[in-house]
Amino acid sequence: MTATGIDAAGTPILPESAVARFRQDGYTVLPGLFARAEVDALCADLEALRATGRPVPGHFEPRPDATGDPLATHPRVMHPHEFLDRARDVLLDARLRTVLEVLLGEEVLAAQSMFYFKPPGARGQALHQDNFYLRVEPGTCVAAWLACDVIDRANGGLEVVPGTHRMDLFCPEDADPELSFAREYVPPPPGLSAVPVDMSPGDVLFFNGSLVHGSGPNLSADRFRRSFIGHYVGRSARRIGTYYRTVAMSGERVVLAESEGAGPCGTEFAAGGPH
């Protein structure tokens, strides 16, 4: 398949240069794929959920902030598309489908959505590989990471290690719980290093499921680093972790066989533990 799709201004949604970047480095950024109004509406729905302070079992589990951990009251939201219409609309958006069908070379299935509030002072997620958790077989997943704020290193922006998408899954080490809410850490391989990906609201970063990536703490005084993430797999995939309830981009459930060793994207340190 070749790059295709035209936006309202007549510009290709996915230029050939972006495809080349994805093949070479394992990631590519499409600026302004979503309008600011779309991003703001999505964030408003998620903020309304958080403002209730009430959990949604299996999706959103806030807890009293007894430790000074901002992630106690602003935990990530897992699979918001399963109970929020706007999150479902974003996950299954036709623009994402157009790009993903080029990058994966086939029809795609949506496997997961997540939303991160990442308030000031929040820990990041140590460098990791997404397919370590999804365990897609054969092949791998692709993430579509939508920036909902101005994102840079100061507020815990994403970092990627170009070239690692051509490598196998690594066996993670233990992360530093003072810096990461998740336990797994994959050091950059010798000769490679993490590079920051600065983004603006509406930008989407697409990256290969084997690409090593992660983020540091939000060191800003008053800036959130909100983001919406979808994980996708090719229609030729046969197995995936049961945590990931795959659906076609038209919305129908597509059940894949279970793969071993899968789980949520990032094993969190126990609540109330060191951070």
Domain ranges of the chain: 16-57+67-258
Residue ranges in the chain modelled with pLDDT below 70: 1-11, 271-275
Distance CA 176, CA 153 (A): 18
Distance CA 194, CA 160 (A): 5
Q: Would you state the pLDDT for residue 10?
A: 56
Q: Would you state the pLDDT for residue 1?
A: 39
Residues 6+ apart with CB under 8 A from 257: 238, 239, 240
Please state which CATH number belongs to domain 16-57+67-258: 2.60.120.620
What letter does residue 73 receive in the DSSP assignment?
H
**49-75 confidence digits (pLDDT tens):** 999 999 999 999 999 887 889 999 999
pTM equals 0.94
Q: Would you state the pLDDT for residue 274?
A: 46
Q: Would you state the pLDDT for residue 265?
A: 84
Closest-CA residue to 60 (of 178, 247, 51) = 51
**209-255 confidence digits (pLDDT tens):** 999 999 999 999 999 999 999 999 999 999 999 999 999 999 999 99
The 10 Å CB-count burial string (b at 16+, else e) for 256-266 is beebeebebbb
Residue ranges in 53-154 assigned as alpha helix (H): 70-73, 85-91, 94-104, 131-134
Residue 130, Cα to own-chain centre: how many angstroms? 9
